[in-house]
Amino acid sequence: MRIIGGAERGLHLTPVGTGDPKAHLRPTSDRVREAIFNLLINGGYGNPVAGAQVLDVFAGTGALGLEALSRGAARAVFLENGAVGLALLKKNIALMRAEDRCEVLRRDATKPGVPPAARFDLVFLDPPYGKGLGEAALTALAPWLAVEALVVWEESTPPAPPPGFDALDQRKYGDTVITILRAAA
């Protein structure tokens, strides 16, 4: 697993193999991450990554948020509550030397607490597949999002966006379905 593009292109992150099913850790493949960022940057959304405040939910290794930082995001906040994911995430932030642009919150994404003062422009949502956690987390995190924030949701099947979110695009890559949503104005 490595950073695909931007200033840190080629940086190898902490190896996790195919993941840790017991910890519900399933890293987004390099190929899918590359497709996500190509879609965001070249898909008619402007460049939502440049200067963005990023929220990486069910962060695991943090590869999506770190990729965004490498490609010009201003800051990333990572939500993760699993011990394995937290350890990998902290190692990867250190490998990228991005501690000053990152914040790690050990929280249940479906009960994230009081929203921070700054809202997020770009959200990566990569819940454990097939458990309905994406819908619950997105609903709970709605107050954390900026008006018209983009959400990139990774699931195994096409998800149903909760009220307040409009589906913009959907692509399938192997067993992964990527859905792009926009938060309502």
Residues of the chain with pLDDT > 70, as a percent, come to 95
With a cut of 90, say whether residue 33 has pLDDT above it: no
Dihedral sign from CA coordinates of 1, 172, 71, 123: negative
Domain parsing of the chain, residue ranges? 21-183
pLDDT score recorded for residue 46: 83
pLDDT score recorded for residue 131: 87
With a cut of 60, say whether residue 5 has pLDDT above it: yes
Per CATH, domain 21-183 is 3.90.700.10: no
Q: What is the mean pLDDT of residues 36-42?
A: 90
Maximum alpha-carbon separation in the chain: 40
Listed in sequence order, the DSSP H helices in the chain are 30-42, 63-70, 83-95, 133-141
Q: Which of 97, 94, 63 is nearest to 80 (CA)?
A: 63
pLDDT score recorded for residue 145: 96
pLDDT score recorded for residue 17: 57
pLDDT score recorded for residue 22: 57
